[in-house]
Structure 1
């Protein structure tokens, strides 16, 4: 990830291009959320969210960190690593596929064919998508950012163009999950075909034979990918486990309300997260001591800057829900409660500083703590106080993790 940020922002200055691509993805998911909320019932949406979360966690157990290693290798023109990386990417898909088969067999044995089909075929589609997106990492490494953006836009717009019409006549959550990942896969595959990507990459690898030094570098890159994969699994679990917990404790309808309550604040936070690479490049220019000396002031100013957005959301959210999400009126007090997490957007400041100056240990601490905070707070909250408790738990976990990353970055 460090190489991705460095290439994009300090060498080429493609801030606007990458920001616009990210915004397309955010708004595409926002419009899909509105469509799901208005075109299918709460129970179906809850099951869909449960299946999406389950499939995402299972598929993350593959070697997802290989992308960071590919970026690092190709940025140094170590193209012999590509053959190894793409081969390991395929091999690593076997383990999550076995897990998906076991889960599907369990649900089939219990007569739940919707869950079985959604988990198995959804995992297959997502694993294929992950393999295809390895080529995006190559484009980033060789500084073909325009082509990289084409792939990312296709991945985001595919579900919007295919899944949105399907919602008018489909109400099967398993089929919707499969369509979601398959539509992204089709979009990315089409762009890869048009750009003749595989021929271009094959030409690169054929021109660069592996030497003894490159073999050592390939081993280092492969080990780096294992480390990055562990972090990726923990991040995915932290992002999706809450919906699984709420589903198991409160049921599908409550899961749908939980998801809708959090959707808009989460997307607003994601918009601000797009500035992380820019902040990373800024912090990288200073020594750890110099960056830490101004971190507290930047953190406080960031909190103050968020106050107007927080107040606007509290005022606008009730009217927005009544107008565009009439089936989820009961989510209004929940989303107002969860809007406190908008202040967690300021975590992008210490997190960027930590990435610029720290080693791997702080990231493990931050990710593991955030994951366990969410599990404990949401689990206890949902068990004792229902949906309100789950939302309070998610809010507290997010805010405490923000404080945690600030303290970690301050010590670096």
Structure 2
């Protein structure tokens, strides 16, 4: 049976233009992990919908959005830099990057402390305490997560799936559900989320060090490359969280809660895409530009029809899902159906993987900056003039447009690379 499966996978490689045996080996753990993550995230959303008021949930999401916005100014590109470094044999980069990330996150702590002081002075103890907790725990939490880049570089997809995706998600979700059964205070929800992620992150980071005993070979250029990637990510980081902050300030906490439930299920595609990206990255490091170009043409077509199929299916079943699981958020159904059209943007995501694997810094700058500027402008204008519906439509358009921009940059870059070889 195993030999038949192996032969079937090998024969299918001509059609998919992909190493299907490699994909199946890594894909099993990736699929298992994403199934667990998706189901547990769905369960958490149901818990929030039933146990937490829209006002409290909106405040909770606003605080986490500020965290994400501040995180855009940290070394957000370091995980990709570590992945590339360890893939090239520099195992010691993991520990080096961990301490460098902690050091650079001192700035994050200072800004969070300043925000906390500001809100305390203005009589908002909820946000004051929340940002004090954020500043203390988030830097450690983010630094520990670098262990996953190490596992991916080692192609240890089993541990990556079980540690980072399964255990790293289930433990915080369990803690959050227990917390909301006791209290729906946003401060305690934020504390539970960050504290549980920090604790499990430290445990798993130490576990990876114990299993692998990383050597002393360090690529000191990793920090420099990580800074470049982080600069690239600044505008995209701002764009990723600006919508939440503007909805909270211009429309309200309740509307922010509705908005988050509208985009929650369509956004679940980010998990599988991230897992697929992690599988593709090491292979793109090994293959020639010509091989990548030939393989990607078929992938683009298949991914387009996959995205379209997912979108149409979701539009059909969304009303039923909300009636059964999120009855308090039926007003989010229409917004969610429209937002699902953005799933078509998965078509060209291999283009981004290529640019990262080939360390095309200038091209990544161009793709990130151009799409982020477009998103920031459209989000601001749409919220101010057309409210929540305008924001949803703007995000759909920008997602598809940004994917197409990445594709154009990819095509021009890989053609130049092939000609120069």
TM-score by length of structure 2 reads 0.82
Out of 140, 159, 177, the residue aligned to residue 164 of structure 1 is 177
Match of 1:392 in 2: 393
- Is the Cα–Cα contact under 8 Å of residues 59 and 253 in structure 2 kept in the other structure? yes
CA change 1:184–1:331 in 2 (3 A) is: same
Tell me, in whole angstroms, the C-alpha distance in 2 between the residues paired with 1:261 and 1:11: 32
Tell me, in whole angstroms, the C-alpha distance in 2 between the residues paired with 1:287 and 1:51: 44
Question: Are 2:232 and 1:231 aligned?
Answer: yes
CA change 1:221–1:351 in 2 (3 A) is: closer
Match of 2:18 in 1: none
Question: Are 2:408 and 1:404 aligned?
Answer: no
Question: Are 2:188 and 1:175 aligned?
Answer: yes
Match of 2:41 in 1: 29
Q: Deviations over 1:377-402 (max 9, x none)?
A: 12111111111111111111111112
Task: Give the superposition deviation at 1:32.
Answer: 1.4
Q: Deviations over 1:51-72 (max 9, x none)?
A: 0111122234333433344444
Match of 1:38 in 2: 50
Out of 94, 98, 116, the residue aligned to residue 110 of structure 2 is 98
Match of 1:49 in 2: 61
Task: Give the superposition deviation at 1:286.
Answer: 5.9
Match of 2:246 in 1: 245
Q: Deviations over 1:119-155 (max 9, x none)?
A: 2212322211122223444444556554444431322
Task: Give the superposition deviation at 1:246.
Answer: 1.5
Tell me, in whole angstroms, the C-alpha distance in 1 between the residues paired with 2:77 and 2:332: 36
Task: Between 394-403 and 145-154, report the one with greater CA deviation.
Answer: 145-154
CA change 1:128–1:381 in 2 (3 A) is: same
Task: Give the superposition deviation at 1:19.
Answer: 3.9
Match of 2:325 in 1: 324
- Is the Cα–Cα contact under 8 Å of residues 65 and 225 in structure 1 kept in the other structure? yes
CA change 1:31–1:231 in 2 (3 A) is: farther
Aligned CA-pair RMSD: 3.0
TM alignment of 1:305-320, pairs within 5 A: 305-320=306-321
Q: Deviations over 1:338-390 (max 9, x none)?
A: 11111112232433344455611222222222322222112111111111111
Q: Per the alignment, in what secondary structure is the counterpart of residue 345 of structure 2?
A: helix
TM alignment of 1:85-124, pairs within 5 A: 85-124=97-136
Tell me, in whole angstroms, the C-alpha distance in 1 between the residues paired with 2:308 and 2:351: 19
Q: Deviations over 1:284-311 (max 9, x none)?
A: 6765456446755643443233333222
The gaps in structure 1 that reach 5 residues or longer are 1-8, 209-213
- Is the Cα–Cα contact under 8 Å of residues 62 and 244 in structure 2 kept in the other structure? yes
Task: Give the superposition deviation at 1:21.
Answer: 2.5
Q: Deviations over 1:200-255 (max 9, x none)?
A: 67x655xx4xxxxx6xx643222122223323444433322221121122111111
CA change 1:90–1:362 in 2 (3 A) is: same
Tell me, in whole angstroms, the C-alpha distance in 2 between the residues paired with 1:388 and 1:316: 20
Tell me, in whole angstroms, the C-alpha distance in 2 between the residues paired with 1:199 and 1:333: 49
Tell me, in whole angstroms, the C-alpha distance in 2 between the residues paired with 1:373 and 1:327: 33
The gaps in structure 2 that reach 5 residues or longer are 1-20, 414-421
Task: Between 88-97 and 238-247, report the one with greater CA deviation.
Answer: 238-247
Q: Per the alignment, in what secondary structure is the counterpart of residue 62 of structure 1?
A: coil
Q: Per the alignment, in what secondary structure is the counterpart of residue 14 of structure 1?
A: helix
Q: Deviations over 1:311-338 (max 9, x none)?
A: 2211110111112111111111111111
Task: Give the superposition deviation at 1:97.
Answer: 0.4
- Is the Cα–Cα contact under 8 Å of residues 235 and 369 in structure 2 kept in the other structure? yes
Question: Are 2:334 and 1:333 aligned?
Answer: yes
Task: Between 283-292 and 241-250, report the one with greater CA deviation.
Answer: 283-292
CA change 1:82–1:390 in 2 (3 A) is: closer
Q: Per the alignment, in what secondary structure is the counterpart of residue 274 of structure 1?
A: helix
